[in-house]
Structure formats: C-alpha cells, structure tokens
Amino acid sequence: MLNCWPSSGSCNERREPDDLVRNFGTYLLGFFKRRYPHFFEGVDAKQFLANVGDIIHSEVRKLYPGAGVLSFEYIDLSPDRLIML
C-alpha cells in the first residue's frame, strides 16, 4: 500500500488511503477532462462518473472488440458525492 503521494517530492509523508484515492481520482479526472473534453460536455464530474460505463467503456469496446471492461455499482450519497463499487 502506498503511504505517500509520489508527486509531492517526498514519500516520507504518510497519507491516509482515502486521501490517496481521492487525490489520484481528482488528478486522473482532470487529466481525462483536458485530454478528452468532448466526453465532459454538458456534464459535471459526478454525472460523468455515474455514466462511465456507457460513455467510456462503449468506446473501448468499439476500439477493442471483446475487451473486458469494469462494471460498477453506484451509491448516490448526495448531490456532490458518489460511491463507485
């Protein structure tokens, strides 16, 4: 298990696993939004994540027929919180 955030310049600083996942998710979603802005038109981050199977995984299946993709279950906690399982 990672106990640091490598981009911080030091892995001596301990981080909670939830913080690592949250920080990585924030980074990755920002990267995807910059790289593939058309997937984010008219949707916020929560809407995008709640529909990632329909949006992204359908594109993966087009490019790579027979590819195995993840499926998610969702728990909608509040307008700004979504748990993906």
- CA dist 23 and 28 (Å) reads 9
What's the confidence (pLDDT) of residue 1? 46
Question: Which residues 6+ apart lie within 8 Å of 46 measured at CB?
Answer: 79, 80, 81, 82
Q: What are the tens digits of pLDDT across the range 43-78?
A: 998 999 998 888 888 889 999 999 998 888 999 999
pLDDT of residue 71: 87
Q: Determine if the pTM surpasses 0.85.
A: no
Residue from 23, 25, 28 nearest 13 by CA: 23
Res 2 pLDDT > 60: no
Rg (CA), the chain: 15
Give phi and psi for 74, each to the nearest 5: -125, 145
